[in-house]
Chain A
Amino acid sequence: MADHSPEDNRLALKVVFYGPALSGKTTNLMQLHSLLNPQRKGELMVLETRDDRTLFFDMLPIGLKGDSGLDLRLKLYTVPGQVQHDSTRKAVLSRADAVVFVADSQTSQQDNNATAFGNLEENLEKVGLDIDTLPMAVQFNKRDLPGVVDEAELQQRWANTPWSPLQMAAALHGKGVIETFRVLLDRLYTEVDREFALETGHGIDRDTFIRQLSAASEEIRA
């Protein structure tokens, strides 16, 4: 559902961070905000939270300009993970171009992961999207905590899905966040290039797309 307006030569894409409550979606977005130094970066908007939990959504706009003058925007959204905010989740999910599913690695949270994944599938269907064709990356967060499910086991469990291999992360410490985002950009590029001819029409090849949108800040590299 990319929002393309040829008269302004603008293309706005929407990426939604989905997942169970307290799995670290907002943390992912905050880390991206402080770690990334893309060509263009807006303010991170954190809408209403209560006790540190998202009530509406968070949003971070980033962007790049193509050789053709194409103004490409990526808006990164998080959804509220708590069960009762389902209609908000659905509203944020509508017209998404890609999804990052942030799962909780703790053994005790596996049921919640499954429920949230089922909810994602259901809501995608309701807003007219298909989980099998939508570009998506799956991240297992909180690897830094004790009592997490073994990575080999997780990878094996998801081996036969389109989302293998899984990304491992400790978002609180900034680990695996950019990597997950790059995997997503890679999958997203395939779809967007097919529809809008990014490479041939606007001089944005896969490498530029990923590098420009996920460039790490100088101070982190140092």
Chain B
Amino acid sequence: MRNFEDDPTLEDLLTADQLQRLNRMLSALCREPVEIGSARETDAVALEFNLETVGWLSGGSSEQERVAAADLVAFLMMFIAKYRLAANLHHDTTEASYAELQKQNEALRASEARYRALSDQLQDKVDEQVAVIKQAQMDLYESARLRSVGQLAAGVAHEINNPIGFISSNLKVAGDYVNDLRELVPDTDQNRELLNDFSDLIGESSDGTRRIASIVSDLKTFSSIDQADYTLCDVNELLSSAVHLLQTEYGHDVDILEKPGELPKISGHPSRLSQTFYNLLDNAAQALKLRESGTERGRILAKTTVTSDGIQVVIQDNGCGIAEDIRERVFDAFFTSRPVGAGTGLGLTVAQDTIRAHRGSIQIDSREGTGTRVTLFLPVS
């Protein structure tokens, strides 16, 4: 590609026709005909332009004549070259500007296409969001329904408590009576068998009532039927009672280490906080059960500390941990890794809701096979 600034050749400056005309005109001026060419003839004079020899002038009657003619040609070429240079530069810059405009045009087209694509996607995005909102509504409805079922259950539990009380005490008295009867009836094989069976029946019934009482007590714990409004509560006390409740549930197979720190009282919902602590402790106890055999003794740590703007509750276990693939879903309602009927899948959901209602946060760190640590943060104000 030639640049505008490349040195012009004789052909660049003059066409063959023009060169012939120039030769004729110069010859008319000179005594002998002269000729301009690109080949160097003997006694030819160089035609210079821009320090460049662009051709040779020969012929003429004398050296003086040739030099005069060459000077005239050089003078003329200067103006031809000027025009050429300007024209070439103009051509170059026009082309460059055009290329730049085209590039800008392309960029504009690309951006227009992008916006068009975006506007096409807009409907899809709206549909997607509508689906999300619908799902959220369903979830809300579901949780409200669940809450009312919970309240019903709690009400029923409360009503069952009284009859269960007297049934269990009556069964205890009935058992004593059976023992009394052993002294009174004649000691035959048939009587003995009858009384043994009677005693077993009463024992089984007592077990049954104990289980009913336990279920009722659980229901009362889990429902918030007797909830009070927000009050100042002592987190250490709430945590401690949850620990005791858990210990009665699981017996003394689990070591629970309590490390209460000096805490300010915070405004909160005592029964919901208790339930949250209980849920987390229960999860920890379940994790200990699933621990690989042969490892060190299962332990749960329940620790509280005060931070600059709130209090921190840590519940940590060295149980089975949470598998990585389900870690993201642990807060999802009705998600449970336990066998059917063993867990509702609401423990952590309720815990998270409660902590959020207290404007706090909940964080879970877990490693499968090593243990889990749940950290709750509750602001003081």
| B92 close to A (CB within 8 Å) | yes
A26–B82 Cα gap in the complex (Å)?
Answer: 16
| B3 close to A (CB within 8 Å) | yes
Residues of chain B in range 45-89 having any CB-CB distance to chain A below 8 Å? 49-51, 78, 81-82, 85-86, 89
| A56 close to B (CB within 8 Å) | yes
Q: Tell me, rounded to whole Å, the shortest Cβ–Cβ distance linking A93 to chain B.
A: 11
Contact present for A88 and B89 (CB under 8 Å):
yes
Q: A43-B78, A45-B82, A56-B86 are in contact. Are A63 and B92 (CB under 8 A)?
A: no
Task: Select from chain A the residue with minimum beta-carbon distance to B97.
Answer: A87
| A90 close to B (CB within 8 Å) | yes
Contact present for B50 and A91 (CB under 8 Å):
no
Contact present for B51 and A61 (CB under 8 Å):
yes
The interface of chain B, by Cβ under 8 A from chain A, is 3-5, 49-51, 78, 81-82, 85-86, 89-90, 92-93, 96-97
Binary B-proximity of A5-41 (CB < 8 A = 1, otherwise 0) = 0000000001000000000000000000000000011
- State the majority secondary structure of interface residues on B: helix
Report which residue of A41, A77, A87, A92 has the largest number of chain B beta carbons within 10 angstroms of its beta carbon: A87
Q: A43-B50, A45-B78, A61-B50 are in contact. Are A91 and B85 (CB under 8 A)?
A: no
A144–B96 Cα gap in the complex (Å)?
Answer: 39
- State the majority secondary structure of interface residues on A: mixed
Q: Tell me, rounded to whole Å, the shortest Cβ–Cβ distance linking A58 to chain B.
A: 10
A61–B8 Cα gap in the complex (Å)?
Answer: 14
| A151 close to B (CB within 8 Å) | no
Task: Select from chain B the residue with minimum beta-carbon distance to A71.
Answer: B51
Q: Which residues of B contact A73 (CB under 8 A)?
A: 51
| A187 close to B (CB within 8 Å) | no
Task: Select from chain A the residue with minimum beta-carbon distance to B93.
Answer: A87
Q: List 22 A-B contacts (CB under 8 A).
A: A42-B49, A42-B50, A45-B50, A45-B81, A45-B82, A45-B85, A47-B86, A56-B85, A56-B89, A56-B90, A57-B89, A59-B5, A62-B51, A73-B51, A77-B5, A87-B93, A88-B93, A90-B93, A91-B89, A91-B96, A92-B5, A94-B3
Q: Which residues of B contact A91 (CB under 8 A)?
A: 4, 89, 92-93, 96
**Size band of the interface chain A makes with B:** 20 to 34
Binary B-proximity of A56-81 (CB < 8 A = 1, otherwise 0) = 11010111000000000101010000
Q: Among B51, B81, B86, B93, which residue has its beta carbon within 8 angstroms of that of A48?
A: B86
Q: Which residues of B contact A75 (CB under 8 A)?
A: 5
Q: Which residues of B contact A61 (CB under 8 A)?
A: 50-51
Residues of chain A in range 194-217 having any CB-CB distance to chain B below 8 Å? none
| A95 close to B (CB within 8 Å) | yes
Report which residue of A63, A87, A91 has the largest number of chain B beta carbons within 10 angstroms of its beta carbon: A91
A45–B5 Cα gap in the complex (Å)?
Answer: 12
Q: Tell me, rounded to whole Å, the shortest Cβ–Cβ distance linking B284 to chain A.
A: 64
Contact present for A47 and B4 (CB under 8 Å):
no
20 other A-B residue contacts (CB within 8 Å) besides A63-B51, A95-B3: A14-B5, A41-B51, A42-B50, A45-B50, A45-B78, A45-B81, A45-B82, A45-B85, A47-B86, A48-B86, A56-B85, A59-B85, A62-B51, A75-B5, A87-B93, A87-B97, A88-B89, A90-B93, A90-B96, A92-B5
A62–B50 Cα gap in the complex (Å)?
Answer: 8
Contact present for B5 and A47 (CB under 8 Å):
no
Task: Select from chain B the residue with minimum beta-carbon distance to A3.
Answer: B6
A42–B96 Cα gap in the complex (Å)?
Answer: 30
A90–B89 Cα gap in the complex (Å)?
Answer: 11
Across the A-B interface, give the 5 residue pairs with the lowest CB-CB distance, nearest first: A87-B93, A42-B51, A61-B50, A42-B50, A56-B86
A91–B63 Cα gap in the complex (Å)?
Answer: 42
A90–B3 Cα gap in the complex (Å)?
Answer: 13
Q: Which residues of A contact B93 (CB under 8 A)?
A: 87-88, 90-91
Q: Tell me, rounded to whole Å, the shortest Cβ–Cβ distance linking A60 to chain B.
A: 10
Task: Select from chain A the residue with minimum beta-carbon distance to B81.
Answer: A45
Q: Tell me, rounded to whole Å, the shortest Cβ–Cβ distance linking A96 to chain B.
A: 10
Q: Which residues of B contact A42 (CB under 8 A)?
A: 49-51
Q: Tell me, rounded to whole Å, the shortest Cβ–Cβ distance linking A28 to chain B.
A: 19
A41–B50 Cα gap in the complex (Å)?
Answer: 8
Task: Select from chain A the residue with minimum beta-carbon distance to B87.
Answer: A56
Contact present for B51 and A47 (CB under 8 Å):
no
Q: Which residues of A contact B78 (CB under 8 A)?
A: 43, 45
Q: Which residues of A contact B86 (CB under 8 A)?
A: 47-48, 56
Contact present for A87 and B96 (CB under 8 Å):
yes
